[in-house]
Structure 1
Amino acid sequence: MIGGRLRHTKSRTGDIDMAQAPPRAGRAQSNRAALRAIDAIDPMKLRTGVPLWLAYGTRAPAATPLGTSLNVDVAVIGGGISGALVTDALLQAGLSVAVFDRVGFVRGSTPASTAMLQFEIDQPLTLLRHRIGPARAARAWWRSASGVTRLHSRIADLGLRCDFRERHTAYLPGNVLDFADLRSEAAARERIGLRSILIDRATLKRFTGIDKPGAIWSAGSAEVDPAKLARGLWRSAAQRGAMLHAPVDIIDIAPGRRRVTLSTDTDHSISARSVVLATGYALTKLLKPRGYRVISTWAMATAPQSEALWPSRCLIWEASDPYLYCRTTRDGRVVAGGEDEAFEDEAKRDALIPAKMARIGRKLKRLLPKLDTAPDYAWAGCFGESAIGLPAIGEVPGAPRCYAVMGFGGNGITFSAIAAEIIQRAILGLPDPDTDLFRFG
Structure 2
Amino acid sequence: MTGNAGDQTSYWIETAPPGALHPPLATDITVDVAVIGAGIAGLSTARELARAGRSVAVLEADRIATGVTGHTTAKLSAQHSLVYEQLRRTRGVEAAKLYGRSQSEAIRHAAAIVADLGIDCDWEDTDSFAYTLESGRTEELKAEADAARAAGLPAEYVTGTDLPFPVAGAVRVAGQAQFHPRKYLLALTEDLLGHGAQMYEHTRVVGLKEGEPCRLTTEVGPTVTATDVVVATHYPIFDRALLFTRLSPHRELVLTAPMPAGTAPQGMYITPEQNTRSVRTAPYADGQRLLIVTGESFTPGTADTEERFGRLTAWVTEHFGPLDFTHRWATQDNSTTDSVPLVGPFHAGSRHTYVATGFGGWGMSGGIMAGRLLSDLITGQGSPWSELYDPRRVRTAVREAPAFLKNQAKVARHFVGDRLPPTSGSVDDLAPGEGALVRIDGHRCAAYRDDAGEVHAVSARCTHLGCLVAFNRAERAWECPCHGSRFDPDGQILQGPATRPLEKRAVPGPDTATDAPTDRS
Once the two structures are TM-superposed, the CA of residue 246 in structure 1 deviates from its matched residue by 2.0
Partner of 1:189: 148
Once the two structures are TM-superposed, the CA of residue 194 in structure 1 deviates from its matched residue by 1.7
Q: Is the 8 A contact 1:144 1:414 kept in 2?
A: yes
Q: Distance in 1 between matches of 2:90 and 2:54?
A: 38
Q: Is the 8 A contact 1:177 1:320 kept in 2?
A: no
Q: Distance in 1 between matches of 2:147 and 2:207?
A: 47
Partner of 1:271: 225
Q: Distance in 2 between matches of 1:323 and 1:381?
A: 13
Partner of 1:329: 282
Q: 1:270 to 1:168 in 2, by over 3 A?
A: same
Q: Distance in 1 between matches of 2:51 and 2:195?
A: 9
Among 363, 367, 375, which residue is 2:315 paired with?
363
Among 165, 179, 203, which residue is 2:124 paired with?
165
Identity between Structure 1 and Structure 2 (%): 22
Q: 1:123 to 1:318 in 2, by over 3 A?
A: closer
Q: Distance in 1 between matches of 2:77 and 2:136?
A: 18
CA deviations on 1:143-172 (whole Å, 9 max, x unpaired) are 222221112112222222111111101221
**Whose relative contact order is higher, 1 or 2, with alpha carbons under 8 Å and at least 6 apart?**
1
Partner of 1:410: 361
CA deviations on 1:95-144 (whole Å, 9 max, x unpaired) are 11111112222232211101111111244312221121222122212222
Q: Distance in 1 between matches of 2:198 and 2:151?
A: 42
Q: 1:145 to 1:174 in 2, by over 3 A?
A: farther
1:232-251 superposed matches below 5 A: 232-251=187-206
Once the two structures are TM-superposed, the CA of residue 175 in structure 1 deviates from its matched residue by 6.0
Q: Does 1:222 align with 2:177?
A: yes
Partner of 1:389: 339
Q: Is the 8 A contact 2:133 2:166 kept in 1?
A: no
What letter matches 2:213 in structure 1? R
Q: Is the 8 A contact 2:84 2:151 kept in 1?
A: no
Q: Is the 8 A contact 2:126 2:178 kept in 1?
A: yes
Once the two structures are TM-superposed, the CA of residue 250 in structure 1 deviates from its matched residue by 2.4
Once the two structures are TM-superposed, the CA of residue 229 in structure 1 deviates from its matched residue by 1.6
Partner of 2:379: 428
Partner of 2:31: 72
CA deviations on 1:409-441 (whole Å, 9 max, x unpaired) are 121111111111111111111221111111113
Q: Distance in 2 between matches of 1:396 and 1:176?
A: 43
Q: Is the 8 A contact 1:392 1:438 kept in 2?
A: yes
Q: Is the 8 A contact 1:122 1:409 kept in 2?
A: no
Output the aligned Cα RMSD.
Answer: 2.3
1:13-92 superposed matches below 5 A: 49-92=8-51
Q: Does 1:372 align with 2:322?
A: yes
Partner of 1:7: none
Q: Does 1:316 align with 2:263?
A: no
Q: Distance in 1 between matches of 2:167 and 2:133?
A: 10
CA deviations on 1:351-409 (whole Å, 9 max, x unpaired) are 51x3222322333344x44x434532111232111123221101111342011111421
Q: Is the 8 A contact 1:111 1:226 kept in 2?
A: yes
Partner of 1:126: 85
What letter matches 1:337 in structure 2? T
What letter matches 2:80 in structure 1? I
Alignment TM-score, normalising by the size of structure 2:
0.69
State the SS of the aligned residue for 1:375.
coil
What letter matches 1:421 in structure 2? R
CA deviations on 1:252-309 (whole Å, 9 max, x unpaired) are 22122x3112223444222211111111125374542654211121111113432431
Q: 1:423 to 1:229 in 2, by over 3 A?
A: same
Give the stretch that moved more between structures: 112-121 or 166-175. Answer: 166-175
Q: How many pairs does the alignment contain?
A: 381
1:298-313 superposed matches below 5 A: 298-310=253-265, 313=266
Once the two structures are TM-superposed, the CA of residue 92 in structure 1 deviates from its matched residue by 1.7
Structure with the higher helix share, 1 or 2: 1
Q: Distance in 1 between matches of 2:252 and 2:354?
A: 27
Q: Distance in 2 between matches of 1:279 and 1:365?
A: 36
Q: Distance in 1 between matches of 2:111 and 2:84?
A: 24
Once the two structures are TM-superposed, the CA of residue 340 in structure 1 deviates from its matched residue by 0.4
Partner of 1:283: 237
Partner of 1:262: 216
1:134-173 superposed matches below 5 A: 134-173=93-132
Q: Gapped runs of 5+ residues in structure 1?
A: 1-46
State the SS of the aligned residue for 2:364.
helix
Q: Does 1:438 align with 2:389?
A: yes
Alignment TM-score, normalising by the size of structure 1:
0.80
State the SS of the aligned residue for 1:107.
coil
Q: 1:276 to 1:255 in 2, by over 3 A?
A: same
Q: Distance in 2 between matches of 1:271 and 1:215?
A: 50
Q: Is the 8 A contact 1:304 1:333 kept in 2?
A: yes
Q: 1:137 to 1:190 in 2, by over 3 A?
A: closer
Q: Gapped runs of 5+ residues in structure 2?
A: 1-5, 393-521
Q: Is the 8 A contact 2:97 2:152 kept in 1?
A: no
What letter matches 2:166 in structure 1? D
What letter matches 1:340 in structure 2? S
